[in-house]
Amino acid sequence: MRKVLILAFYIIPFFCHAQHDILVLEKRGMHVRTYTIGDPMTFKTVYGQWFNGTIDDLRRDTIYIAGQAFSYKEIAALSRIKSKWDNRTTGVILMTAGIGLFAIGAINGGLRGDEAKDWYTTSGIIVGGAFIAAGAIFLATAKKYYTLGGKFQLQYMQIGRR
Protein backbone atom coordinates (compact mmCIF):
# COMPACT_ATOMS: atom_id res chain seq x y z
CA MET A 1 0.00 0.00 0.00
CA ARG A 2 2.82 2.39 0.84
CA LYS A 3 4.48 1.77 -2.57
CA VAL A 4 1.23 2.55 -4.40
CA LEU A 5 0.83 5.79 -2.46
CA ILE A 6 4.39 6.88 -3.19
CA LEU A 7 3.98 5.95 -6.86
CA ALA A 8 0.76 8.02 -7.01
CA PHE A 9 2.59 11.09 -5.68
CA TYR A 10 5.21 10.72 -8.40
CA ILE A 11 2.64 10.27 -11.22
CA ILE A 12 0.17 13.06 -10.27
CA PRO A 13 2.38 15.96 -11.48
CA PHE A 14 2.46 14.51 -15.00
CA PHE A 15 -1.32 14.81 -15.32
CA CYS A 16 -1.88 18.15 -13.58
CA HIS A 17 -1.19 21.66 -14.66
CA ALA A 18 -1.62 23.92 -11.67
CA GLN A 19 -0.94 27.50 -12.77
CA HIS A 20 -0.61 29.71 -15.80
CA ASP A 21 1.44 32.81 -16.42
CA ILE A 22 -0.03 36.07 -15.13
CA LEU A 23 0.11 39.80 -15.89
CA VAL A 24 0.26 42.11 -12.88
CA LEU A 25 -0.64 45.80 -13.07
CA GLU A 26 1.31 47.71 -10.44
CA LYS A 27 1.16 51.30 -9.22
CA ARG A 28 4.55 52.34 -7.86
CA GLY A 29 5.35 48.72 -6.99
CA MET A 30 1.99 47.98 -5.33
CA HIS A 31 -0.46 45.46 -6.79
CA VAL A 32 -3.53 46.95 -8.51
CA ARG A 33 -4.93 44.17 -10.73
CA THR A 34 -3.97 40.71 -11.99
CA TYR A 35 -4.82 39.32 -15.43
CA THR A 36 -4.75 35.62 -16.27
CA ILE A 37 -6.29 33.27 -18.83
CA GLY A 38 -10.04 33.80 -19.13
CA ASP A 39 -10.05 37.41 -17.87
CA PRO A 40 -11.54 40.18 -20.03
CA MET A 41 -9.04 42.82 -21.10
CA THR A 42 -9.31 46.11 -22.99
CA PHE A 43 -6.05 47.81 -23.87
CA LYS A 44 -4.40 50.34 -26.16
CA THR A 45 -1.27 49.39 -28.05
CA VAL A 46 1.75 51.64 -28.57
CA TYR A 47 0.47 51.99 -32.16
CA GLY A 48 -2.71 53.75 -30.96
CA GLN A 49 -5.20 50.91 -31.50
CA TRP A 50 -7.68 49.71 -28.86
CA PHE A 51 -8.36 45.97 -28.53
CA ASN A 52 -10.69 44.08 -26.24
CA GLY A 53 -11.52 40.47 -25.62
CA THR A 54 -10.87 37.55 -23.34
CA ILE A 55 -7.31 36.39 -22.76
CA ASP A 56 -6.99 33.03 -24.51
CA ASP A 57 -3.41 32.25 -23.52
CA LEU A 58 -0.32 33.75 -21.91
CA ARG A 59 2.92 32.28 -23.14
CA ARG A 60 6.52 33.55 -23.33
CA ASP A 61 5.75 37.25 -22.75
CA THR A 62 2.90 37.11 -25.28
CA ILE A 63 -0.81 37.69 -24.74
CA TYR A 64 -3.24 35.88 -27.06
CA ILE A 65 -6.63 37.57 -27.46
CA ALA A 66 -9.13 36.46 -30.11
CA GLY A 67 -6.44 34.71 -32.17
CA GLN A 68 -4.09 37.71 -32.13
CA ALA A 69 -0.77 37.76 -30.34
CA PHE A 70 0.57 40.83 -28.53
CA SER A 71 3.73 41.29 -26.57
CA TYR A 72 3.00 42.71 -23.14
CA LYS A 73 5.52 45.45 -23.96
CA GLU A 74 3.25 46.67 -26.79
CA ILE A 75 0.54 47.69 -24.33
CA ALA A 76 0.46 51.46 -23.71
CA ALA A 77 -2.74 51.73 -21.62
CA LEU A 78 -5.22 49.41 -19.90
CA SER A 79 -8.90 50.17 -19.58
CA ARG A 80 -10.03 50.59 -16.02
CA ILE A 81 -12.33 47.93 -14.65
CA LYS A 82 -15.40 49.57 -13.12
CA SER A 83 -15.43 49.21 -9.37
CA LYS A 84 -18.47 49.44 -7.17
CA TRP A 85 -17.96 53.09 -6.14
CA ASP A 86 -15.74 54.92 -8.59
CA ASN A 87 -15.53 58.67 -9.24
CA ARG A 88 -18.03 58.51 -12.09
CA THR A 89 -20.77 56.88 -9.98
CA THR A 90 -20.17 59.21 -7.05
CA GLY A 91 -20.28 62.25 -9.35
CA VAL A 92 -23.58 61.25 -10.93
CA ILE A 93 -25.13 60.62 -7.51
CA LEU A 94 -23.98 64.00 -6.15
CA MET A 95 -25.20 65.91 -9.21
CA THR A 96 -28.56 64.13 -9.08
CA ALA A 97 -28.91 65.03 -5.39
CA GLY A 98 -28.12 68.71 -6.10
CA ILE A 99 -30.59 68.94 -8.99
CA GLY A 100 -33.19 67.10 -6.91
CA LEU A 101 -32.72 69.56 -4.06
CA PHE A 102 -33.40 72.48 -6.40
CA ALA A 103 -36.40 70.69 -7.95
CA ILE A 104 -37.94 69.95 -4.55
CA GLY A 105 -37.53 73.61 -3.53
CA ALA A 106 -39.29 74.77 -6.70
CA ILE A 107 -42.09 72.23 -6.42
CA ASN A 108 -42.73 73.00 -2.73
CA GLY A 109 -42.63 76.76 -3.37
CA GLY A 110 -45.07 76.41 -6.25
CA LEU A 111 -47.48 74.25 -4.26
CA ARG A 112 -47.43 76.68 -1.33
CA GLY A 113 -48.11 79.59 -3.67
CA ASP A 114 -44.96 81.48 -2.68
CA GLU A 115 -43.29 84.00 -4.92
CA ALA A 116 -40.37 82.64 -6.97
CA LYS A 117 -37.83 84.64 -4.92
CA ASP A 118 -38.93 82.80 -1.75
CA TRP A 119 -38.61 79.24 -3.09
CA TYR A 120 -35.00 78.82 -2.03
CA THR A 121 -33.16 79.70 1.15
CA THR A 122 -29.53 80.73 1.14
CA SER A 123 -28.46 77.45 2.75
CA GLY A 124 -30.47 75.47 0.16
CA ILE A 125 -28.73 77.27 -2.69
CA ILE A 126 -25.30 76.69 -1.13
CA VAL A 127 -25.91 72.98 -0.44
CA GLY A 128 -27.46 72.29 -3.87
CA GLY A 129 -24.69 74.20 -5.65
CA ALA A 130 -22.02 72.39 -3.62
CA PHE A 131 -23.52 68.99 -4.56
CA ILE A 132 -23.56 69.87 -8.25
CA ALA A 133 -20.04 71.34 -8.18
CA ALA A 134 -18.62 68.35 -6.28
CA GLY A 135 -20.34 65.96 -8.71
CA ALA A 136 -18.88 67.82 -11.68
CA ILE A 137 -15.40 67.63 -10.14
CA PHE A 138 -15.79 63.89 -9.52
CA LEU A 139 -16.93 63.34 -13.12
CA ALA A 140 -14.04 65.41 -14.50
CA THR A 141 -11.47 63.45 -12.52
CA ALA A 142 -12.88 60.00 -13.36
CA LYS A 143 -10.01 58.18 -15.05
CA LYS A 144 -11.03 55.80 -17.77
CA TYR A 145 -7.74 53.98 -18.25
CA TYR A 146 -4.33 53.35 -16.72
CA THR A 147 -1.49 54.82 -18.79
CA LEU A 148 1.57 52.59 -18.50
CA GLY A 149 5.03 53.98 -18.12
CA GLY A 150 4.89 56.54 -15.30
CA LYS A 151 3.47 55.31 -12.05
CA PHE A 152 1.75 52.28 -13.60
CA GLN A 153 3.77 49.27 -14.76
CA LEU A 154 2.73 45.97 -16.29
CA GLN A 155 4.77 42.99 -15.09
CA TYR A 156 4.74 39.59 -16.79
CA MET A 157 5.23 36.71 -14.37
CA GLN A 158 6.11 33.36 -15.86
CA ILE A 159 4.94 30.53 -13.63
CA GLY A 160 6.10 27.15 -14.82
CA ARG A 161 7.91 26.21 -18.02
CA ARG A 162 6.43 25.49 -21.40
Backbone angles phi, psi at 121, to 5 degrees: -95, 165
Which pLDDT tens digit goes with each residue over 24-62? 889 888 988 888 888 888 889 999 898 888 988 888 888
User: Cβ atoms within 10 A of the Cβ of 55, count?
Assistant: 19
Which pLDDT tens digit goes with each residue over 112-143? 888 877 888 888 889 999 999 999 998 888 77
Query: Is residue 80 a contact partner of residue 146, using CB atoms and an 8 Å limit?
Result: yes
One-letter identity of residue 55:
I
Rounded CA separation 28/26 (Å) = 6
The pTM score is: 0.57
CA angle 79, 89, 124 (to 5 degrees): 150
Which pLDDT tens digit goes with each residue over 59-117? 888 889 888 898 888 999 988 776 667 778 888 999 999 999 999 888 888 888 888 77
Q: Environment class of residue 145 by beta-carbon count within 10 Å: exposed (0-12), middle (13-18) or buried (19+)?
A: middle
| pLDDT at residue 37 in the model | 87
| pLDDT at residue 160 in the model | 65
Q: Environment class of residue 135 by beta-carbon count within 10 Å: exposed (0-12), middle (13-18) or buried (19+)?
A: buried
